[in-house]
């Protein structure tokens, strides 16, 4: 089940997507998630909206493979400060979310009166001038003006490979290749941005065909079983990233709950590979979809 992403080996093509505020689910928050990822030998994408400091996350799982997800802030100096920080801490890739120029209509949050702005601080988004912590309310703006031409600026300030998260179409995939990014995460933001957009798995084939093998393509959203993992890989994804299931495991039993979630999917994926005759991830191909009607 071993494979590589951006040249780094992982034990299985099942990794952890960026989600924010893990301390809402478990006291140790992202530190528990990072330890579970390290133990499993997989990649963990840490969110801009992490509730633990990046230093604490790295210290608790120093051997883990980490990428960093960035919501682009209107303050360029703040973006630069944060990117340089994650690079110095040993993060191996920069994942830029491109499907959130504005936060979608989160009706469940309104109904349940969820207000993260009241009580939570983002520990890694301090003011470059003052070096202090800034409330979520002050950090919530996302730069809605970011466009393809801005990628050259990000490439000029970091040596990290840049991955774009939130691509769903052939046209955007082709532009990503044209602008020399290193990878794409096919994602509809967990269905939380715009109702009735395509499921990630339905957009995957179009994106994979568009990049023509020039860059790696990953998928997040809707992965709940080992068969889901097999289908995504058969359709061309290099690996999948889990969102909600990780939070469910974290809320259940912290680090050990996350490990259980990962083990369930890993074992199911192993079974799916076995029953379709795949001795390695490299043998998983689109032919499986036609053969087994997965």
Residue 198 predicted with pLDDT over 60: yes
Is pTM beyond 0.85? Reply is yes
Which class is domain 3-288? alpha beta
Q: Where are the domains of the chain?
A: 3-288
| DSSP calls for 99-112 | S-SS----HHHHHT
pLDDT tens digit string along 119-131? 565 566 554 444 4
- Annotated catalytic residue within 22, 179, 189, 256: 189
pLDDT attached to residue 135: 42
pLDDT attached to residue 243: 97
174 burial via Cβ count (<10 Å: 0-12, 13-18, 19+): middle
> Each residue of 71-109: b (16+ CB within 10 Å) or e?
bbbeeeebbbbbbeebbeeebbbbbbbbbbeeeeeeeee
pLDDT tens digit string along 174-186? 999 999 999 999 9
pLDDT tens digit string along 230-274? 999 999 999 999 999 999 999 999 999 999 999 999 999 999 999
**What is the overall mean pLDDT for the chain?**
90
Q: Using the structure block, give the residue that is written with the tokens 């990822």.
A: 37
pLDDT attached to residue 137: 35
Percent of the chain whose predicted confidence (pLDDT) is above 90 = 78
189 an active-site residue?
yes
pLDDT attached to residue 139: 45
Mean pLDDT of 179-204: 92
pLDDT attached to residue 128: 45
Give the pLDDT band (50/70/90) at residue 133.
Answer: very low
pLDDT attached to residue 114: 75
Spatial separation of the C-alpha atoms in residues 284 and 261, rounded to whole Å: 23
pLDDT tens digit string along 21-80? 999 999 999 999 999 999 999 999 999 999 999 999 999 999 999 999 999 999 999 999
């Amino acid at each position: 089940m071993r494979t590589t992403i951006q040249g780094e080996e992982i034990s299985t093509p099942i990794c952890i997507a960026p989600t924010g505020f893990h301390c809402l689910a478990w006291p140790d928050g992202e530190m528990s998630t990072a330890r579970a990822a390290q133990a499993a030998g997989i990649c963990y994408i840490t969110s801009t909206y992490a509730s633990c400091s990046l230093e604490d996350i790295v210290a608790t799982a120093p051997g883990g493979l980490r990428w960093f997800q960035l919501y682009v802030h209107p303050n360029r100096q703040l973006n630069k400060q944060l990117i340089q920080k994650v690079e110095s801490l040993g993060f191996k890739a920069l994942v830029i979310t491109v499907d959130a120029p504005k936060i979608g209509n989160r009706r469940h949050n309104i109904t349940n009166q969820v207000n993260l702005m009241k009580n939570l601080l983002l520990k890694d988004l301090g003011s470059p001038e003052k070096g202090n912590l800034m409330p979520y309310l002050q950090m919530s703006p996302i730069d809605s003006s970011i466009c393809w031409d801005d990628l050259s600026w990000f490439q000029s300030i970091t040596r990290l490979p840049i991955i774009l998260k939130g691509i769903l179409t052939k046209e955007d995939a082709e532009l990503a290749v044209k602008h020399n990014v290193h990878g794409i995460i096919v994602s509809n933001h967990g269905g939380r941005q715009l109702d009735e957009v395509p499921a990630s798995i339905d957009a995957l084939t179009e994106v994979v065909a568009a990049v023509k093998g020039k860059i790696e393509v990953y998928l997040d959203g809707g992965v709940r079983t080992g068969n889901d993992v097999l289908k995504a890989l058969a359709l061309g994804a290099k690996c999948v990233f889990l969102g909600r299931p990780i939070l469910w495991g974290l809320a259940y039993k912290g680090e050990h709950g996350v490990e259980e979630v990962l083990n369930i999917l890993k074992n199911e994926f192993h079974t799916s590979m076995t029953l379709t005759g795949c001795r390695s991830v490299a043998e998983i191909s689109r032919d499986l979809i036609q053969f087994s009607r997965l």
